[in-house]
């Protein structure tokens, strides 16, 4: 099982050992998001263009039951909803759309085909995706706050 | 965003839910508009059928099981804490 160990250094004035980098930035990892393989195949068969992958950053969110992608990424990839999910918010329950998605984690050389992820508004967070416990249940995630690094094996 | 594209499908499903659940418990229903397109063993089979028959359009795929509690929670997102920073 490949393991990615990430030490956060993309903060102002990083030092080789900067534990607060992880505290400030969170457990973030590079992602590539694209249409599900079955949709790409269908679009190709219809002679339609396949949207270009979207690259960005995901936050590993152990508090999220499911993975979620930003609504703007949904638009860029031309995704159509295939289902609904009940969303628990401070204001009560609401319904949110679900979308099929292909996720690549370049640092792990790992591809995950989701039957569905939740669409949500991540504007202002700096993230294109939240990686939730539906992904974490597939592997091992270690958060080392003392050294300022985390490891993810999938 | 997106859920509003499935309002018609949602209304149809809610009106037919008990009947579908009794007839096809555990299966996956594929609904487009106010019409049941088909019932499938897996979600991926339902999606592939939907793509083939309907194309890349909004469609509702729902597993026919008793009602579930909340399925997506992300407290940090909902509380606005993902990008919280010190006030200065």
Query: A45-82: per-residue pLDDT in tens?
Result: 999 999 999 999 999 999 898 999 999 999 999 999 99
ipTM (interface pTM)? 0.89
What pLDDT score does A42 carry? 95
Residue A13's pLDDT is: 46
Count of structural domains within chain B: 1
State the Cα–Cα distance between residues A16 and B36, nearest whole angstrom. 59
pTM of the model: 0.89
* pLDDT score recorded for residue B80: 73
- The residue count for chain B: 88
| Tens digit of each residue's pLDDT (9 = 90 or more) over B28-85 | 999 999 999 999 999 999 999 999 999 999 999 999 998 776 677 787 787 777 766 6
CA angle at A75 for the pair B43 and A105, rounded to the nearest 5°:
65
Half-sphere exposure of A119 (CA within 13 A, CB side): 26
Cβ–Cβ below 8 Å for B82 and A125: yes
**Is B69 among the domain residues?**
yes
Which residues of B lie inside 8 Å of A (Cβ-Cβ)? 1-3, 5-6, 10, 43-44, 47-48, 50-52, 55-62, 68-79, 82-83
Closest to A55 in 3D by CA, of A146, A141, A127, A153: A127
pLDDT of A17 reads: 53
Residue B25, in any domain of the structure = yes
- Taking the CA of residue B36 and the nearest CA in chain A, the distance in Å comes to 14
The answer as to whether B82 is a domain residue is no
Judge whether B81 lies within some domain.
no
Average pLDDT in the A128-138 region?
Answer: 95
Checking if the pLDDT of A20 tops 60, the result is yes
Q: Are B21 and B64 in contact (CB under 8 A)?
A: yes
Residue of A28, A59, A98, A99 to mutate for B, most B C-beta atoms under 10 A: A98
Instruction: Report yes or no: B38 and B49 within 8 Å, Cβ to Cβ.
Output: yes
- Assess contact for A54 and A99: CB atoms under 8 A: no
The answer to whether residue B16 is domain-embedded is yes
**pLDDT value for A139:** 92
The domains of chain A are located at 3-11+28-153
From the number of C-beta atoms within 10 Å of its C-beta (0-12, 13-18, 19+), residue B38 rates as middle
Q: Average pLDDT in the A26-39 region? A: 96
Domain with B7, as residue range(s), is 3-76
Asked if the Cβ–Cβ distance from B51 to A38 is below 8 Å, we say yes
Predicted local confidence at residue A19, as pLDDT: 66
Between B85 and B19, where is the model more confident?
B19
Q: Which residues of chain A lie closer than 8 angstroms to B74, CB-CB?
A: 61, 63-65, 68, 120, 130, 132
Chain A residue nearest residue B79, CA to CA? A90
Q: Could you tell me which CATH class the domain A3-11+28-153 is placed in?
A: mainly beta
Nearest CB among A80, A84, A124 relative to B56 is that of A80
């Amino acid at each position: 099982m490949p393991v990615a160990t990430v030490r956060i250094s993309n903060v102002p004035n990083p030092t080789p050992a900067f534990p607060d980098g992880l505290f400030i930035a969170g457990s973030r990892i590079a992602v590539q998001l694209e249409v599900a393989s079955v949709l790409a195949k269908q679009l190709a068969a219809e002679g339609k263009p396949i949207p270009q992958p979207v690259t960005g950053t995901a936050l590993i969110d152990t508090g999220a039951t499911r993975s979620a992608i930003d609504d703007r990424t949904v638009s860029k990839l031309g995704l159509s909803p295939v289902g609904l999910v009940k969303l628990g918010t401070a204001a009560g329950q609401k319904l949110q759309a679900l979308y099929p998605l292909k996720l690549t984690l370049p640092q792990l050389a790992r591809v995950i085909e989701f039957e569905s992820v939740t669409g949500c508004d991540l504007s202002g967070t700096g993230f294109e995706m939240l990686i939730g416990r539906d992904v974490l249940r597939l592997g091992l995630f270690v958060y080392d706050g003392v050294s300022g690094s985390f490891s993810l094996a999938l | 965003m997106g859920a509003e594209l499935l309002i018609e499908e949602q209304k149809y499903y809610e009106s037919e839910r008990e009947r579908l659940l009794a007839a096809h418990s555990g299966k996956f229903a594929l609904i487009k508009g106010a019409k049941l397109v088909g019932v499938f063993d897996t979600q991926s089979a339902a999606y592939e059928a939907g793509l083939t028959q309907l194309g890349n359009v909004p469609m509702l795929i729902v597993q026919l099981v008793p009602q579930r509690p909340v399925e997506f929670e992300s407290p940090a997102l909902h509380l606005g804490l993902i990008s919280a920073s010190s006030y200065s």
